[in-house]
Structure 1
Protein backbone atom coordinates (compact mmCIF):
# COMPACT_ATOMS: atom_id res chain seq x y z
CA UNK A 1 0.00 0.00 0.00
CA UNK A 2 2.87 2.37 0.85
CA UNK A 3 4.43 1.63 -2.52
CA UNK A 4 1.21 2.47 -4.40
CA UNK A 5 0.85 5.72 -2.44
CA UNK A 6 4.50 6.62 -3.16
CA UNK A 7 4.04 5.94 -6.90
CA UNK A 8 0.85 8.05 -6.96
CA UNK A 9 2.57 10.98 -5.21
CA UNK A 10 5.61 10.77 -7.52
CA UNK A 11 3.35 10.67 -10.57
CA UNK A 12 1.42 13.68 -9.34
CA UNK A 13 4.63 15.65 -8.78
CA UNK A 14 5.88 14.72 -12.26
CA UNK A 15 2.64 15.91 -13.87
CA UNK A 16 2.80 19.15 -11.86
CA UNK A 17 6.41 19.75 -13.00
CA UNK A 18 5.46 19.14 -16.64
CA UNK A 19 2.50 21.52 -16.32
CA UNK A 20 4.70 24.26 -14.85
CA UNK A 21 7.24 23.79 -17.66
CA UNK A 22 4.53 24.08 -20.32
CA UNK A 23 3.12 27.19 -18.63
CA UNK A 24 6.57 28.82 -18.63
CA UNK A 25 6.73 28.36 -22.42
CA UNK A 26 3.35 29.99 -23.03
CA UNK A 27 3.20 33.60 -24.24
CA UNK A 28 2.72 36.32 -21.65
CA UNK A 29 -0.68 37.82 -21.00
CA UNK A 30 -0.69 41.30 -22.59
CA UNK A 31 -2.92 44.30 -21.86
CA UNK A 32 -2.54 47.87 -23.12
CA UNK A 33 -4.26 51.17 -22.51
CA UNK A 34 -3.73 53.55 -25.43
CA UNK A 35 -1.49 55.76 -23.26
CA UNK A 36 0.84 52.77 -22.65
CA UNK A 37 1.63 52.23 -26.34
CA UNK A 38 5.18 53.14 -27.33
CA UNK A 39 5.24 54.54 -30.87
CA UNK A 40 8.30 54.56 -33.09
CA UNK A 41 9.06 54.93 -36.76
CA UNK A 42 7.28 52.44 -39.00
CA UNK A 43 9.41 49.68 -40.55
CA UNK A 44 11.42 50.69 -43.65
CA UNK A 45 9.11 48.54 -45.82
CA UNK A 46 6.42 51.22 -45.36
CA UNK A 47 6.51 54.70 -46.87
CA UNK A 48 8.06 57.26 -44.51
CA UNK A 49 5.85 59.32 -42.20
CA UNK A 50 3.92 56.60 -40.37
CA UNK A 51 4.49 55.52 -36.78
CA UNK A 52 4.22 51.95 -35.54
CA UNK A 53 3.97 50.05 -32.26
CA UNK A 54 4.34 46.33 -31.65
CA UNK A 55 1.59 45.22 -29.27
CA UNK A 56 2.21 41.48 -29.29
CA UNK A 57 4.73 39.03 -30.66
CA UNK A 58 7.69 39.76 -32.92
CA UNK A 59 6.90 40.59 -36.56
CA UNK A 60 10.39 39.43 -37.54
CA UNK A 61 9.86 35.88 -36.27
CA UNK A 62 7.44 33.04 -37.03
CA UNK A 63 4.22 33.28 -35.04
CA UNK A 64 1.33 35.61 -34.33
CA UNK A 65 2.01 39.33 -34.04
CA UNK A 66 -0.15 42.42 -33.56
CA UNK A 67 1.02 45.91 -34.47
CA UNK A 68 -0.57 49.33 -34.72
CA UNK A 69 0.16 51.72 -37.55
CA UNK A 70 -0.49 55.45 -37.17
CA UNK A 71 -0.91 56.90 -40.66
CA UNK A 72 -0.80 60.70 -41.07
CA UNK A 73 -3.26 62.57 -43.29
CA UNK A 74 -2.60 61.94 -46.97
CA UNK A 75 -0.59 58.77 -46.35
CA UNK A 76 -0.54 56.22 -49.19
CA UNK A 77 0.68 52.62 -49.19
CA UNK A 78 1.11 51.55 -52.85
CA UNK A 79 -0.01 48.16 -54.17
CA UNK A 80 1.76 45.31 -52.39
CA UNK A 81 1.26 41.79 -51.03
CA UNK A 82 2.34 39.67 -48.05
CA UNK A 83 3.25 35.98 -47.80
CA UNK A 84 0.68 35.48 -45.01
CA UNK A 85 -2.90 36.58 -44.44
CA UNK A 86 -3.25 40.03 -42.89
CA UNK A 87 -6.17 41.20 -40.72
CA UNK A 88 -6.51 44.97 -40.44
CA UNK A 89 -8.86 46.82 -38.09
CA UNK A 90 -9.45 50.55 -38.28
CA UNK A 91 -9.01 51.67 -34.67
CA UNK A 92 -9.55 55.39 -35.19
CA UNK A 93 -9.96 57.85 -38.03
CA UNK A 94 -10.81 56.55 -41.46
CA UNK A 95 -8.89 54.80 -44.19
CA UNK A 96 -9.60 53.41 -47.63
CA UNK A 97 -8.44 50.09 -49.07
CA UNK A 98 -8.41 48.70 -52.57
CA UNK A 99 -7.47 45.57 -54.45
CA UNK A 100 -5.34 45.62 -57.57
CA UNK A 101 -1.91 45.82 -59.12
CA UNK A 102 -1.58 49.59 -58.72
CA UNK A 103 -3.07 52.34 -56.58
CA UNK A 104 -6.39 53.38 -58.14
CA UNK A 105 -8.62 55.85 -56.28
CA UNK A 106 -11.67 54.49 -58.16
CA UNK A 107 -11.16 51.09 -56.50
CA UNK A 108 -10.93 52.39 -52.92
CA UNK A 109 -13.43 51.27 -50.28
CA UNK A 110 -13.67 53.84 -47.46
CA UNK A 111 -13.78 52.38 -43.96
CA UNK A 112 -14.41 54.09 -40.65
CA UNK A 113 -13.29 53.23 -37.11
CA UNK A 114 -14.46 49.75 -36.16
CA UNK A 115 -14.11 48.37 -39.70
CA UNK A 116 -12.20 45.22 -40.62
CA UNK A 117 -10.24 44.18 -43.69
CA UNK A 118 -8.91 40.67 -44.36
CA UNK A 119 -6.21 40.58 -47.02
CA UNK A 120 -5.44 36.98 -48.03
CA UNK A 121 -1.82 36.03 -48.62
CA UNK A 122 -0.37 37.09 -51.98
CA UNK A 123 -3.36 39.30 -52.91
CA UNK A 124 -2.34 42.72 -54.18
CA UNK A 125 -3.84 45.55 -52.14
CA UNK A 126 -3.23 49.23 -51.31
CA UNK A 127 -4.35 51.73 -48.69
CA UNK A 128 -4.62 55.43 -47.94
CA UNK A 129 -6.10 57.91 -45.51
CA UNK A 130 -7.22 61.46 -46.19
CA UNK A 131 -7.45 62.61 -42.57
CA UNK A 132 -5.24 60.15 -40.69
CA UNK A 133 -5.95 56.78 -39.13
CA UNK A 134 -4.70 54.22 -36.65
CA UNK A 135 -4.81 50.64 -37.94
CA UNK A 136 -4.29 47.44 -36.00
CA UNK A 137 -2.66 44.68 -38.04
CA UNK A 138 -2.64 41.04 -37.00
CA UNK A 139 -0.75 38.43 -38.97
CA UNK A 140 1.63 35.53 -38.74
CA UNK A 141 5.31 36.37 -39.03
CA UNK A 142 7.76 36.81 -40.24
CA UNK A 143 6.33 40.02 -41.68
CA UNK A 144 7.17 40.68 -45.29
CA UNK A 145 5.96 43.15 -47.86
CA UNK A 146 6.46 42.90 -51.61
CA UNK A 147 5.50 45.88 -53.75
CA UNK A 148 3.91 45.08 -57.10
CA UNK A 149 6.01 47.84 -58.67
CA UNK A 150 9.54 47.68 -57.20
CA UNK A 151 9.89 51.44 -57.80
CA UNK A 152 7.20 51.98 -55.10
CA UNK A 153 9.30 50.16 -52.46
CA UNK A 154 10.78 52.78 -50.09
CA UNK A 155 13.64 50.39 -49.30
CA UNK A 156 14.79 50.76 -52.92
CA UNK A 157 14.96 54.53 -52.43
CA UNK A 158 17.12 54.29 -49.29
CA UNK A 159 19.38 51.46 -50.40
CA UNK A 160 18.04 49.06 -47.75
CA UNK A 161 17.14 45.86 -49.62
CA UNK A 162 15.54 43.94 -46.73
Structure 2
Protein backbone atom coordinates (compact mmCIF):
# COMPACT_ATOMS: atom_id res chain seq x y z
CA UNK A 1 0.00 0.00 0.00
CA UNK A 2 1.31 3.41 -0.99
CA UNK A 3 1.56 6.12 1.76
CA UNK A 4 -0.67 9.20 1.32
CA UNK A 5 1.37 12.33 0.71
CA UNK A 6 0.84 15.54 2.71
CA UNK A 7 -1.04 17.35 -0.09
CA UNK A 8 -3.58 14.53 -0.40
CA UNK A 9 -4.08 14.56 3.40
CA UNK A 10 -4.74 18.31 3.37
CA UNK A 11 -7.26 17.93 0.53
CA UNK A 12 -9.07 15.16 2.42
CA UNK A 13 -9.07 17.15 5.67
CA UNK A 14 -10.33 20.31 3.93
CA UNK A 15 -13.14 18.32 2.31
CA UNK A 16 -14.19 16.85 5.65
CA UNK A 17 -14.18 20.22 7.45
CA UNK A 18 -16.13 21.96 4.68
CA UNK A 19 -18.73 19.20 4.81
CA UNK A 20 -19.48 20.17 8.42
CA UNK A 21 -19.19 23.95 7.97
CA UNK A 22 -22.84 24.49 6.88
CA UNK A 23 -24.02 22.76 10.08
CA UNK A 24 -21.77 24.95 12.20
CA UNK A 25 -23.11 28.11 10.56
CA UNK A 26 -26.62 27.32 11.84
CA UNK A 27 -25.74 26.66 15.48
CA UNK A 28 -28.22 27.76 18.14
CA UNK A 29 -27.34 30.77 20.30
CA UNK A 30 -26.12 30.07 23.82
CA UNK A 31 -28.87 29.99 26.44
CA UNK A 32 -27.52 32.12 29.33
CA UNK A 33 -29.56 30.02 31.80
CA UNK A 34 -27.66 26.92 30.67
CA UNK A 35 -24.23 28.29 29.73
CA UNK A 36 -22.99 31.58 31.18
CA UNK A 37 -20.00 33.19 29.49
CA UNK A 38 -18.07 36.11 30.98
CA UNK A 39 -15.35 37.33 28.60
CA UNK A 40 -12.00 38.10 30.20
CA UNK A 41 -12.28 41.82 29.44
CA UNK A 42 -15.55 41.95 31.44
CA UNK A 43 -14.10 40.40 34.62
CA UNK A 44 -14.00 43.19 37.21
CA UNK A 45 -11.27 43.22 39.83
CA UNK A 46 -11.83 45.30 42.98
CA UNK A 47 -9.30 46.03 45.73
CA UNK A 48 -9.57 43.34 48.37
CA UNK A 49 -10.91 44.59 51.65
CA UNK A 50 -8.70 42.34 53.79
CA UNK A 51 -5.38 43.65 52.50
CA UNK A 52 -3.51 46.97 52.57
CA UNK A 53 -4.10 49.46 49.73
CA UNK A 54 -2.51 48.38 46.44
CA UNK A 55 -1.63 44.89 47.72
CA UNK A 56 -4.07 43.11 45.47
CA UNK A 57 -7.52 42.78 43.98
CA UNK A 58 -10.24 40.16 43.74
CA UNK A 59 -12.87 39.29 41.14
CA UNK A 60 -15.64 37.07 42.51
CA UNK A 61 -16.86 34.78 39.73
CA UNK A 62 -19.07 32.26 41.55
CA UNK A 63 -20.40 31.95 45.08
CA UNK A 64 -19.03 33.80 48.10
CA UNK A 65 -15.89 32.96 50.11
CA UNK A 66 -17.68 33.99 53.31
CA UNK A 67 -20.85 31.93 52.84
CA UNK A 68 -21.50 28.17 52.80
CA UNK A 69 -21.08 26.62 49.36
CA UNK A 70 -18.71 26.53 46.43
CA UNK A 71 -16.87 29.64 45.30
CA UNK A 72 -14.52 30.67 42.51
CA UNK A 73 -12.56 33.91 42.63
CA UNK A 74 -9.69 35.40 40.69
CA UNK A 75 -7.07 37.06 42.88
CA UNK A 76 -4.55 39.54 41.54
CA UNK A 77 -1.46 39.87 43.76
CA UNK A 78 0.66 42.96 43.25
CA UNK A 79 4.46 42.72 43.54
CA UNK A 80 5.91 43.42 46.98
CA UNK A 81 3.18 41.77 49.07
CA UNK A 82 2.87 38.46 50.88
CA UNK A 83 0.16 37.18 53.17
CA UNK A 84 1.19 36.24 56.70
CA UNK A 85 1.05 32.53 57.60
CA UNK A 86 -2.60 31.54 57.93
CA UNK A 87 -5.04 28.63 57.57
CA UNK A 88 -8.49 28.03 56.08
CA UNK A 89 -11.32 25.83 57.34
CA UNK A 90 -11.55 23.94 54.04
CA UNK A 91 -9.25 22.87 51.21
CA UNK A 92 -8.50 25.38 48.46
CA UNK A 93 -7.60 24.59 44.88
CA UNK A 94 -5.63 27.19 42.90
CA UNK A 95 -4.37 27.58 39.35
CA UNK A 96 -1.98 30.35 38.37
CA UNK A 97 -3.57 32.10 35.38
CA UNK A 98 -0.79 34.59 34.63
CA UNK A 99 2.52 35.61 36.13
CA UNK A 100 4.39 33.69 38.83
CA UNK A 101 3.08 33.18 42.37
CA UNK A 102 5.37 32.32 45.29
CA UNK A 103 4.03 29.86 47.89
CA UNK A 104 5.26 28.25 51.08
CA UNK A 105 3.95 26.14 53.96
CA UNK A 106 4.40 26.41 57.69
CA UNK A 107 3.80 28.91 60.48
CA UNK A 108 7.19 30.66 60.15
CA UNK A 109 7.31 33.52 57.63
CA UNK A 110 10.31 33.05 55.30
CA UNK A 111 9.38 34.51 51.89
CA UNK A 112 12.93 33.96 50.58
CA UNK A 113 12.19 30.21 50.77
CA UNK A 114 8.89 30.40 48.86
CA UNK A 115 8.54 28.24 45.77
CA UNK A 116 7.71 29.96 42.45
CA UNK A 117 4.63 28.63 40.65
CA UNK A 118 4.42 29.97 37.06
CA UNK A 119 1.30 30.38 34.92
CA UNK A 120 -0.48 27.07 34.45
CA UNK A 121 0.79 25.73 37.78
CA UNK A 122 -1.54 24.08 40.31
CA UNK A 123 -1.55 24.53 44.10
CA UNK A 124 -3.73 22.65 46.63
CA UNK A 125 -3.93 23.92 50.18
CA UNK A 126 -5.09 21.38 52.75
CA UNK A 127 -7.57 22.59 55.36
CA UNK A 128 -6.13 24.02 58.58
CA UNK A 129 -2.51 23.80 57.46
CA UNK A 130 -0.48 27.02 57.77
CA UNK A 131 0.79 28.60 54.57
CA UNK A 132 1.52 31.99 52.97
CA UNK A 133 2.04 33.32 49.50
CA UNK A 134 2.61 36.41 47.42
CA UNK A 135 4.79 38.15 44.86
CA UNK A 136 8.27 39.52 45.67
CA UNK A 137 9.00 43.20 45.09
CA UNK A 138 11.50 42.56 42.26
CA UNK A 139 8.77 41.08 40.01
CA UNK A 140 7.44 43.56 37.44
CA UNK A 141 3.90 42.24 36.89
CA UNK A 142 1.10 41.12 39.22
CA UNK A 143 0.09 37.48 39.31
CA UNK A 144 -3.48 36.30 38.73
CA UNK A 145 -4.63 33.15 40.53
CA UNK A 146 -7.97 31.34 40.15
CA UNK A 147 -9.08 30.07 43.58
CA UNK A 148 -11.78 27.43 44.05
CA UNK A 149 -13.08 26.08 47.33
CA UNK A 150 -15.91 25.61 49.77
CA UNK A 151 -16.97 28.54 51.94
CA UNK A 152 -16.86 29.93 54.43
CA UNK A 153 -13.06 30.02 54.37
CA UNK A 154 -12.68 31.12 58.02
CA UNK A 155 -9.16 32.51 57.67
CA UNK A 156 -7.10 32.18 60.87
CA UNK A 157 -3.69 33.85 61.26
CA UNK A 158 -0.93 31.63 62.65
CA UNK A 159 0.23 34.55 64.81
CA UNK A 160 -2.59 37.09 65.28
CA UNK A 161 -0.17 39.48 67.04
CA UNK A 162 1.71 40.10 63.77
CA UNK A 163 0.44 41.88 60.63
CA UNK A 164 -1.75 39.86 58.27
CA UNK A 165 0.08 41.30 55.24
CA UNK A 166 3.82 41.74 54.82
CA UNK A 167 5.67 44.11 52.50
CA UNK A 168 8.59 42.22 50.94
* TM-score calculated relative to the size of structure 1: 0.72
Q: Is the 8 A contact 1:47 1:77 kept in 2?
A: no
The number of residues matched between the two structures is: 127
* Superposed displacement of residue 145, structure 1: 1.1
Q: Secondary structure at the match of 1:43?
A: coil
- Displacement, 1:60? 2.1
What residue is the counterpart of 2:23 in the other structure? none
- Equivalent of 1:79, from 72, 85, 98? 85
Q: CA deviation at 1:29?
A: 4.2
Residue in structure 2 matched with residue 37 of structure 1 by the alignment: 43
User: How far did residue 47 of structure 1 move?
Assistant: 4.4
Instruction: Select 1:152's aligned residue among 148, 163, 168.
Output: 163
Tell me the residue number matched to 1:51: 57
CA distance in 2, matches of 1:86, 1:146: 14
Q: In the alignment, is the contact (CA less than 8 A) between 1:43 and 1:52 conserved in 2? A: no
Question: Deviation at 1:32?
Answer: 2.2
* Residue in structure 2 matching 1:115, options 117, 121, 125: 121
2:148 pairs with 1:138? yes
Q: Structure 1, residues 57-95: CA drift from partner, whole Å, max 9, x if none?
A: 122211100001111111211110000001111110101
Tell me, which stretches of 5 or more residues in structure 2 are unaligned? 1-32
| Aligned position for 1:65 | 71
Decide which of 99, 113, 117 is 1:93's aligned counterpart: 99
Structure with the largest fraction of helix = 1
TM-score by length of structure 2 reads 0.69
Cα distance, 1:144 vs. partner? 2.1
**Structure 1 unpaired stretches of 5+:** 1-26, 155-162
Alignment partners' CA distance in 1, 2:34 and 2:109: 39
More deviation, 62-71/140-149: 140-149
SS of 2:153 mapped into structure 1 = coil
Give the 3 Å change call, closer, same or farther, for CA 59–37 of structure 1 in structure 2.
Answer: same
The superposition leaves residues 14-59 of structure 1 with CA deviations (integer Å, 9 ceiling, x where unpaired) of: xxxxxxxxxxxxx974322210111112132x44421101011122
CA RMSD of aligned residues (A): 1.8
